[in-house]
Amino acid sequence: MAVWSIKIVPGAAPGAPAQFVPQLQPGGPQGLLAQSGDAVTWNNTTGQHHQPWPTDQNFKPLTPEQVGPRGSANYLSDDIAPNHSSRPTWVVTPSPTTQNVIYYCSLHHPGARGRITITS
């Protein structure tokens, strides 16, 4: 099991959405590359609150009923205050409906988008 961190950084220009940048990986269109059972945390380096929230492949946020309560496989993180890290740690769990890609956004700022590609 690997432990991964995704840094939430300010957008490239004023008014641009925050970015999710995988640490210790090149990032890119696949986002974080992780395996089933890996642990993932987010580190918010922005001045705004963010909450990683799962979406469909078009980045439409899932409903709270689809995500489930804290501790469920789809629940990525609680709200993350500026300059804090996520809680709880999310454990990568593939789902037949995601085709091994977890799409997510910031619940508070849906223009901030990321993905986690589950590799074998």
pLDDT digits (tens, 9 = 90+) for 64-91: 999 999 999 999 999 999 999 999 999 9
Q: In which domain, by residue range, is 30 found? A: 3-119
Question: In Å, how far from its chain's centre is CA 19?
Answer: 10
- DSSP conformation class of 106: E
Q: What is the pLDDT of residue 67?
A: 95
**Per the structure, how many domains does the chain have?**
1
75 and 68 Cβ atoms separated by less than 8 Å: yes
CATH number, domain with residue 22: 2.60.40.420
Cβ 66 vs Cβ 74: under 8 Å: yes
pLDDT band per the 50, 70, 90 thresholds, residue 101: very high
Q: List pLDDT tens digits, range 13-40.
A: 999 999 999 998 876 788 999 999 999 9
Q: CB of 5 within 8 A of CB of 23?
A: yes
Q: How confident is the model at residue 96 (pLDDT cuts 50, 70, 90)?
A: low
